[in-house]
Structure 1
Amino acid sequence: MRSTALPLLLAAMLGCAGCGLRPMYAGGGSGQVATSLSAVQVAAIPEKNGWLMRNALVDRLGGEPSAAQYRLDVELDDDLSGLGIRGDSAVTRERRTLRARYQLVDLKSGLVVLDATAGSDAGIDVVSSEYATVAAENSAQERLTTVVADQIVSRLGLFMSHPRR
């Protein structure tokens, strides 16, 4: 069994060598993707969700750029709806959904070079303590913000990894 595993492993490695795959973040902090992402300025986003999202994006993009080449405009849609309803019409479960439409604008030309969406949702148990329910809603809001920010930055990285869009 061992004698057949080594040749198969070598064949697989040789097959991958010519497939054209390359790491997105090749070169680390000085690579093409990292330097392009660090040149993205995140525009202000209104309300608490916007503040959370902007901070998460700025953190993931490497901070505020000194010389921005792009501006990221984000519009958020946050929805909280009741799912589980008891016989007395009391909600027992909620669903929080966060969707983001974002546009990457080239500051030199003013053109939108990327227009996309990202989103996620979370379930929340509604308990007898109103404080606990509000805390769970806020926690879900913070979690969803980080998930959606990760999706946006991943998509931006993929966009930046191609030589010319």
Structure 2
Amino acid sequence: MSKSKTKPLGLSLSKPVSQVEKRPSTGSGLAVFFALFSIPLLTACGLQPLYSGGTQGVVAQNLGQVAIAPIEGEAGWLVRNELTDQLAPVQGDAARYQLVVQLDDQIEGFGVLANDQITRERRTLRARYQLVEIASGETVIDATAGSDAGIDVVSSEYATIAAENRALENLSREVANQIVTRLSLYAREQ
């Protein structure tokens, strides 16, 4: 068994390290140039933070004027709580808008063994939501949001139920985030 010496990449054993040729760096200087050049362009195009102004900003004030109608079921309770946390309704002010949400929560088994035992499930949460201006009754937003999650079905029924519940919590948060993002874009335009 003979021992072979491995050469470090880019180094020749015949030259000392100080004499090894270095390749010129072409990408880093160019990247810095484009990064510095693009900053003024971003401000020139009108790009601004959605929540500029904090709680006193236009978006936060408009979102605070949204009343959330009750939503049916466990998923409805989770989504409504998440929406309430994110929208932070302004206390004492009359609501200008009402948010109406209808949910569709489904669990479907799709990983099946030869003995017809399900090994994987998909939980899907879809929401159709409408933002209604209370004074006029006009629907100003009519949209949908949704997400899904995969769940491993294991031999422990408790673990499977816990995974299904955790998936519902995560999906509720995701759907609420999608709704709030859409409402925020509308609120910025007002």
1:34 aligns with 2:60: yes
1:121 aligns with 2:159: no
Greater CA drift, 153-162 or 17-26: 17-26
Q: List gaps (5 residues or longer) in structure 2.
A: 1-24
Please name the residue that 1:79 is paired with. 106
Q: List gaps (5 residues or longer) in structure 1.
A: none
Rounded Cα–Cα distance in structure 1 between residues aligned with 2:162 and 2:126: 21
Rounded Cα–Cα distance in structure 2 between residues aligned with 1:123 and 1:3: 44
Question: Given the superposition, is the C-alpha separation of residues 17 and 128 from structure 1 closer, same or farther in structure 2, using an over 3 Å criterion?
Answer: same
3-state SS of 2:141 partner: strand
3-state SS of 1:72 partner: strand
Question: Given the superposition, is the C-alpha separation of residues 8 and 127 from structure 1 closer, same or farther in structure 2, using an over 3 Å criterion?
Answer: closer
C-alpha RMSD of matched pairs (Å) = 1.7
Please name the residue that 2:133 is paired with. 106
Scaled by the length of structure 2, what TM-score is found? Answer: 0.80
Following superposition, the deviation at residue 17 of structure 1 comes to 2.2
Question: Given the superposition, is the C-alpha separation of residues 3 and 65 from structure 1 closer, same or farther in structure 2, using an over 3 Å criterion?
Answer: same
Higher relative contact order (CA 8 A, sep 6+): 1
Scaled by the length of structure 1, what TM-score is found? Answer: 0.92
One-letter amino acid of the structure 2 residue matched with residue 30 of structure 1: Q
1:62 aligns with 2:67: no
8 A contact 1:58–1:64 mirrored in 2: no
One-letter amino acid of the structure 2 residue matched with residue 29 of structure 1: T
Q: Which one of the candidate residues 150, 165, 173 is aligned to 1:146?
A: 173
Q: How does 1:129-144 map onto structure 2 within 5 Å?
A: 129-144=156-171
Rounded Cα–Cα distance in structure 2 between residues aligned with 1:9 and 1:135: 46
Q: Quote the sequence identity (%).
A: 52
8 A contact 2:65–2:89 mirrored in 1: no
The list of structure 1 runs, each at least 4 consecutive aligned residues, that deviate by more than 2 angstroms after superposition, is 1-11, 63-66
